[in-house]
Amino acid sequence: MTMLLSSQLIGCAEAPPHPIAQAIDHNMVYVSGGSFLMGSDSNQAKKSEKPTHAVTLNDFYIAKFEVTQQLFESIMGSSLSYFQSPNIPVNNLSWQQANYFIKKLNQITGETYRLPTEAEWEYAARGGQLSRGYIYSGSNNIEDVAWYSKNAKNKAHQVGMKQPNELGLYDMTGNVGEFVSDAYDDNFYRYSPQTNPTNSRQEASGLAHKSVRGSSFSYDAKESQNYRRDFASQSIIMSDIGLRLVKDVKK
């Protein structure tokens, strides 16, 4: 009887995480939810970045690093990255390809990774509850935290080479821009919900624009503040855009 019970318990034991998921989760940061002011009322802010508005978010996990070519190719077999190296962020991919990668990643690992919402991205870039109010993600001096137009030599660089922000996140400013889940609407801030806002849409049209955050190696300092928004067609391939993973906190 004891042996039978033991075998039943072993059979019911939860399977260990997939090795790829273990590696990803090891480099994820827990972000305590809370409220913050999203956007900007600065004279330098674009229409799409106004007005400043209160947002409240739930807890979530976010990756310390942008998805590297090593991780991407472990799932997809290869990438079309223009700037090639295992520890350089995957680049030269579209929003659709980024989501297809996440779909396959979840199929292989049994996990539920996703792109961040635009609000989650900005909250994390600002440092969440640990925010010190920096202009860029982790510093008021962009040289400390970012590969941008004046130091990047017009190319992507290995992840984690600059200083992290208050949450321990690297390259939230500069290096490659990061796709988020939201469709780009330059009026969204004027009517977006206050709690867990998202403008996610799954248009079939390749002309649909998706939001891109974090600037990149080709942007200058005045285009790289935490509130800055940009966009790209969901099907266009861009050499200076990649992605970062997030995951919900299980209740």
Sheet arrangement for strand 177-183: 230-233, 209-213, 177-183, 241-242
pLDDT of residue 16: 87
Task: Write b or e for each residue in 58-87: b if 16 or more Cβ atoms lie within 10 A of its Cβ, otherwise e.
Answer: eebbbbbbbbbbebbeebbeebebebeeee
pLDDT, residue 200, reads 85
Q: What's the pTM?
A: 0.93
pLDDT value at 239 more than 60 = yes
Provide the pLDDT for residue 13: 58
Rounded Cα gap, residues 208 and 5, in angstroms:
56
pLDDT for 251 equals: 76
* 17-47 residue pLDDT tens: 899 999 999 999 999 999 999 999 999 999 9
Give 203's pLDDT tier (boundaries 50, 70, 90): low
H-helix or E-strand spanning residue 70? helix 69-76
- DSSP, collapsed to helix, strand or coil, labels residue 212 as strand
pLDDT, one tens digit per residue, over 171-200 is 999 999 999 999 999 999 999 999 999 998
- 15 — pLDDT class (breaks 50, 70, 90): confident
**98-154 pLDDT, tens digit each:** 999 999 999 999 999 999 999 999 999 999 999 999 999 999 999 999 999 999 999
Q: Count other Cβ atoms within 10 Å, centred on residue 9.
A: 9
